[in-house]
């Protein structure tokens, strides 16, 4: 079991490195353009993807490696009052879309994270962002599913195994953080 998991991880990492360099660089450029113009980055997801959204947003808004100016980023998964009110009053599908409506502005970037690409609340957040003229990005698994047509920047990890997809999402998230720091001249 041990060696099987590592072999699978290594293979997915190698396939991801081959397939996603250009799409990730295009997303990094869009994020840098947004932040440089006074925009912000908003991340959302469920479960492990919610944890990834929070992790990446925190690395950006606080610091990744060294002390530097903050990068405007937030996770739409952290305000329990907003989440529970929207879920109670409008349905769980609306928890992220409602926050995009409230906080999003043209020039921002919304990043939806869903290993399956099918999470309805993340899909609706991307639909809402697109309707508002906000740049959209999706971190998904192999086929991207429903998020493919909604993402200006699709980061679809070449795997169907949730754990391997999540491992690549956080690696790609760290690459986003480090690259943004450099692109924006903060380190």
Question: 20-64 pLDDT, tens per residue?
Answer: 999 999 999 999 999 999 999 999 999 999 999 999 999 999 999
Tokens 């799409």, residue located: 23
At residue 171, the pLDDT reads: 98
- Whole-model pTM: value is 0.97
Look at residue 74 and give its three-state secondary structure.
strand
At residue 3, the pLDDT reads: 96
Q: According to CATH, what is the number of the domain 2-183?
A: 3.40.50.10490
Question: 63-99 pLDDT, tens per residue?
Answer: 998 899 999 999 999 999 999 999 999 999 999 999 9
Question: 114-157 pLDDT, tens per residue?
Answer: 999 999 999 999 999 999 999 999 999 998 899 999 999 999 99
At residue 65, the pLDDT reads: 87
At residue 187, the pLDDT reads: 77
Spatial contact of 138 and 117, defined as CB atoms under 8 Å apart? yes
Helices (H), the chain: 2-36, 48-61, 80-90, 95-103, 120-131, 162-183
């Amino acid at each position: 079991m041990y060696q099987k998991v590592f072999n699978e991880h290594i293979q997915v990492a190698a396939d991801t490195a081959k397939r996603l360099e250009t799409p990730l660089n295009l997303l990094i450029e869009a994020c840098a353009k947004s932040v440089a113009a006074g925009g912000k980055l908003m991340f959302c997801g469920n479960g492990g993807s919610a944890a990834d959204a929070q992790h990446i947003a925190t690395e950006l808004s606080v610091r990744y490696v060294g002390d530097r100016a903050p990068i405007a980023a937030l996770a739409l998964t952290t305000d329990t009052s907003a989440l529970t009110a929207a879920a109670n009053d409008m349905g769980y599908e609306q928890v992220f879309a409602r926050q995009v409506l409230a906080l999003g502005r043209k020039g921002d970037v919304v990043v939806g994270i869903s290993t399956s690409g099918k999470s309805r609340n993340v899909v609706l957040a991307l639909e809402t962002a697109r309707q508002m003229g906000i740049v959209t990005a999706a971190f998904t698994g192999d086929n991207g599913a429903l998020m493919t047509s909604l993402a200006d920047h699709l980061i679809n990890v070449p795997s169907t195994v949730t754990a391997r997809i999540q491992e690549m999402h956080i690696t790609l998230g760290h690459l986003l953080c480090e690259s943004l720091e450099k692109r924006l001249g903060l380190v």
